[in-house]
Chain A
Amino acid sequence: MSVGFVMLVHNALDRATAVARHWATSGCPVVIHVDRRVNRKDYTAFAEGLADLGNVKFSKRHRVEWGTWSIVAATQSAAELVLASFPQVRHVYLASGSCLPLRPVGELRQYLDSRPRTDFIESVTTEDVPWTVGGLDRERFTLRFPFSWKRHRYLFDRYVRLQRKLGFKRRIPAGLVPHLGSQWWCLTRETLTAILNDPDREMFERYFTKVWIPDESYFQTLVRQYSQNIESRSLTLSKFDFQGKPHIFYDDHLQLLRRSDCFVARKIWPQADRLYSSFLSNDPAVTKNAEPNPGKIDRLFAKAVDRRTRGRSGLYMQSRYPNEGWENGKTCAPYSVFEGFEELFENFETWLFKAVGGRVHGHLFHPARAQFAGGETVYNGGLPDSAALRDYDPKAFLTNLIWNTRGERQCFQFGPGDEQDISWYLATDPNAQISVITGAWAVPLFHSSNNFAYIRREAAALQKIEAKHLDILRSPHTRARVRIWTMAEFVQNPMEPLQIIIDEIAPRGQRRLTEAPVMAALNGFGQFLQNLKNQGMHPHLMGDFPVGDDPASSTRERHKPYLVK
């Protein structure tokens, strides 16, 4: 009892020769179908190259076109020839010219001999397959497909749309339940004979010739009528990418293929010399006689498809430049923006660094230069602090910074004194944690010794800018984690909001803050605001600071750090 191979060949004939020879000399009959499109000269040379082998035969040639009935017709002819010419064959294995056996033939034979009645064919109902190309699954069986998908895509699509519009539906022959699956199967003589000698074969053929990609459904459907024992998987390791084209194996996959313990793999790049020379041997030492386990290869290819379809979040580069809304994450990691903290607290950056670690920058969008942590002039990835370069593309500056510092939390200060172009981007980025103390920009003005006319003008300008920025943060399009306090609110009870922010940044830390940042002196701040009002300006963003009731005076009285239990 043995296994016979059917090989469908259309190019890389020299490789097909080597594989056919390998199987034939190992005692397995091979029937080869060569595409009619291969020219006569090449075909003759190919046939002569295998002429010395008695158990290699060539079947009637068909002109094969992808996605059409011709592939099934070719398979049928070759399968009939195997069954008729080699009565000792119990299993027929369908392979292609770009298949490569990974394990000694003896092991395959042994494997099949211990499962004499099992048909190995992937066969799944249409409802359960996620991998159909072009969005056609059930419709493969109910529409007509007279146009080539590869050559006349436009007509193909148009005709499908027309049939959908008219509500056209073909009747599926009674008793058939459409199943789909990999084209590459290994069937028993009984099942295959039953399918090929079915009294209704002609009727089924009439139906399947108009089905789209019948090579993935003809045998897969009919096998359900006859088989005693279906093992719904392919013995051929064959992976498809998101466009439905097979992944290709190269020399550098050698170890991966070896460890997969699969019997046959496709598709092999014809010039993968090392694969062909390594695997075309019956050396039993190369495998462990284990069950096929393509898990590692599955993961590799699944990752590749994911890279192609979803990409790396927060990366903008030459071959990934998503349209707005399609970024899968505008930036690659969470980061924190602090507005008004540096103004209200003394040495806030140092305090923040002690509390959460990571990188604490100054005002990255300062008009003069990007104030990187530690006063660096160039930062990770070679990002310079030049304001001109940053303002040339502020989004790129931000996304580059977050990408370059992957794995390390970034915090930076922002305020109405900074370049505002980035506002919308920050607000709409779910990775941004934005905490704002409104009106805190007034504190440095309050402490400055400039003349009051200048201060009044400056205050009015900053307030206008911040109000606009707050409108953005409060817009319904905002996706960032935004927290806004007025300065008056914050000054009342600074520890609680700080604790919330810190916990969110470093959730695992869960340390209680032991040391509060030191608040700037605010004695007379209420009067300062009143003076602004007296000059005709209306400072409203900082909340209510009644004249004479200085809240900060209480915090300034403490001489030792403020402890919270």
Chain B
Amino acid sequence: MGAISSYRLRLQRKRWRLRALRKRRELKPVADRTVSIRADDVLLFSTLRNERVRLPYFFKYYRDLGINHFIMVDNGSDDGTREYLESQPDVSLWTTNKSYRRARFGVDWLNWLQRRYAHGHWCLTVDIDEFFIYPFCDTRPIRALTDWLDASSIKSFGAMLVDMYPRGAVDAEEYRAGANPFEIAEWFDSGNYTIHKNSKFGNLWIQGGPRARTFFYDQPERAPALNKIPLVKWHRTYTYVSATHMLLPRGLNLVYDEWGGEKASGCLLHAKFLNSFVEKSEEELVRKQHYANSHEYRAYNDGLKDNASLWCKWSEKYINWRQLEILGLMSKGNWA
């Protein structure tokens, strides 16, 4: 990479940081408990809207993993999400009614909060329907992982999005608050992913899975990106560029090995395809607040209208992280 393009990326990073600075005015604090954050706490950042039913399990999962503090942005919920979050002792909550799309799908808001509160912390940025899986996550807390990453001088950790789906129709079974969503959506695709390298940012662009298979089989280039880098030892000069798919400076995107080896990586189990999804996709079509004019939601709406299922006879039933490792979706790298 030449000096000029490298400088361009630097300018771009500054632009995103300035934008985050401007967008901070859209955020109003509801419960600011950030004073209780200790120096070596692991933080979680998330933006959400009307996800009340998902919250109890989400918090249980991530507290068990060892997240110390949650920093969240509520984008105008009216189903009790805000009240629930406000009452949690380890949550700092901001709220806004401004456009999710114009905050670049929440990235600007979180970039600002991360710049403010995440400096020097390991920070996990996930959506409310994403559940972080990493090697040995059943026996070692997330602190073991971040300590190991620190000792190995690794600053970012990749985790590919794995779409999970139920065996029958997506809305056949109702998800109830507090339940493990992967008792309903327990299936996934193990080996139909494609990878391209983004030469500008240096990240991998991964597509595939059940969504490419069923909704985008005739226009694969439009299939959603599944590559994510959710866990980063944050520095105030870092910035997410597009969702958690890539970051600047670009060195943080190098979460893969180019010389034949495997770096350690995890997965984000995606509990999107539950009964709430069908209602949500109808709503999102009206709100038009999602990526590429909610093109994805339009495709889903067409695809899932007639009780179609994402399941096929080669779907894998989720067991644990070791299964994902053996299938080659994630890797232990040299962590043993």
**Interface positions of A (Cβ within 8 A of B):** 241-243, 245, 247-248, 250-252, 269, 271, 300-301, 303-305, 307-312, 315-323, 326-328, 378-384, 386, 388-389, 392-393, 396, 400, 403-404
Residues of A within 8 A of B195 (CB): 316-318, 321, 393, 396
User: Does A381 contact B261, Cβ atoms closer than 8 Å?
Assistant: no
Residues of B within 8 A of A388 (CB): 217-220
Given contacts A250-B144, A382-B192, A400-B192, contact A322 B217 (CB under 8 A): no
B309-328: which have CB < 8 Å to A? 312-315, 328
How far is it, in angstroms, between the C-alpha of A82 and the C-alpha of B264 when the chains are bound?
A: 43
Residues of B within 8 A of A248 (CB): 147-148, 151
Q: Report if B191 contacts A (CB, 8 A).
A: yes
Other than the given A382-B213, A386-B217, 11 more pairs (CB < 8 A) read A311-B331, A317-B265, A317-B330, A318-B159, A378-B314, A381-B314, A382-B315, A384-B192, A393-B220, A396-B193, A404-B190
Most buried by B among A243, A318, A404: A318
How far is it, in angstroms, between the C-alpha of A39 and the C-alpha of B258 when the chains are bound?
A: 42
B73-111: which have CB < 8 Å to A? none
CB-defined A-B contacts under 8 Å, sample of 15: A248-B148, A308-B263, A317-B329, A317-B331, A318-B158, A318-B227, A319-B262, A319-B333, A320-B331, A321-B256, A326-B258, A381-B192, A382-B190, A392-B221, A393-B196
How far is it, in angstroms, between the C-alpha of A404 and the C-alpha of B326 when the chains are bound?
A: 11
User: Does A384 contact B217, Cβ atoms closer than 8 Å?
Assistant: yes
How far is it, in angstroms, between the C-alpha of A309 and the C-alpha of B195 when the chains are bound?
A: 21
How far is it, in angstroms, between the C-alpha of A311 and the C-alpha of B333 when the chains are bound?
A: 8
Q: Which of B44-52, B55-63, B135-143, B282-290 is the contact stretch?
A: B135-143
User: Does B314 contact A382, Cβ atoms closer than 8 Å?
Assistant: yes
User: Does A311 contact B257, Cβ atoms closer than 8 Å?
Assistant: yes
User: Does B152 contact A311, Cβ atoms closer than 8 Å?
Assistant: no
B171-209: which have CB < 8 Å to A? 189-197, 204, 206, 209
User: Does A382 contact B191, Cβ atoms closer than 8 Å?
Assistant: yes
User: Does A381 contact B190, Cβ atoms closer than 8 Å?
Assistant: yes
User: Does A269 contact B191, Cβ atoms closer than 8 Å?
Assistant: no
Residues of B within 8 A of A326 (CB): 258-260
B225-270: which have CB < 8 Å to A? 227, 255-265
Given contacts A319-B255, A382-B315, contact A392 B194 (CB under 8 A): yes
How far is it, in angstroms, between the C-alpha of A446 and the C-alpha of B147 when the chains are bound?
A: 70
Residues of B within 8 A of A271 (CB): 141, 143-144
User: Does A322 contact B260, Cβ atoms closer than 8 Å?
Assistant: yes
Q: Report if B39 contacts A (CB, 8 A).
A: no
How far is it, in angstroms, between the C-alpha of A225 and the C-alpha of B83 when the chains are bound?
A: 74
User: Does A321 contact B197, Cβ atoms closer than 8 Å?
Assistant: yes
Residues of A within 8 A of B336 (CB): 247, 300-301, 303-304
User: Does B220 contact A311, Cβ atoms closer than 8 Å?
Assistant: no
User: Does B258 contact A322, Cβ atoms closer than 8 Å?
Assistant: yes
Q: Report if B304 contacts A (CB, 8 A).
A: no
Q: How many residues of B contact A (CB 8 A)?
A: 59
Residues of A within 8 A of B216 (CB): 389
Q: Report if B335 contacts A (CB, 8 A).
A: yes
Shortest Cβ distance from residue B227 to the other chain A in the assembled complex, whole angstroms = 6
Number of A-B contacts (CB under 8 A): 176
Residues of A within 8 A of B260 (CB): 309-311, 320, 322, 326-328
Q: Report if B5 contacts A (CB, 8 A).
A: no
Given contacts A304-B334, A320-B256, contact A250 B136 (CB under 8 A): yes
Residues of B within 8 A of A382 (CB): 189-192, 209-210, 213, 312, 314-315
User: Does A378 contact B139, Cβ atoms closer than 8 Å?
Assistant: no
How far is it, in angstroms, between the C-alpha of A269 and the C-alpha of B136 when the chains are bound?
A: 14
Given contacts A317-B329, A321-B257, A400-B191, contact A378 B313 (CB under 8 A): yes
Most buried by A among B148, B195, B265: B195
How far is it, in angstroms, between the C-alpha of A455 and the C-alpha of B259 when the chains are bound?
A: 48
Residues of A within 8 A of B261 (CB): 307-311, 320
CB closest residue in chain A, given B157: A319
Shortest Cβ distance from residue B167 to the other chain A in the assembled complex, whole angstroms = 14
Q: Report if B332 contacts A (CB, 8 A).
A: yes
Residues of B within 8 A of A251 (CB): 139-140
How far is it, in angstroms, between the C-alpha of A280 and the C-alpha of B35 when the chains are bound?
A: 37
Residues of B within 8 A of A316 (CB): 195
CB closest residue in chain A, given B151: A245
Shortest Cβ distance from residue A252 to the other chain B in the assembled complex, whole angstroms = 4
User: Does A311 contact B262, Cβ atoms closer than 8 Å?
Assistant: yes
Residues of A within 8 A of B160 (CB): 317-318
User: Does A404 contact B191, Cβ atoms closer than 8 Å?
Assistant: yes
Residues of A within 8 A of B313 (CB): 378
Residues of A within 8 A of B144 (CB): 250, 269, 271
User: Does B221 contact A321, Cβ atoms closer than 8 Å?
Assistant: no
Shortest Cβ distance from residue A384 to the other chain B in the assembled complex, whole angstroms = 5
Given contacts A309-B261, A378-B312, contact A245 B152 (CB under 8 A): yes
Residues of B within 8 A of A327 (CB): 260
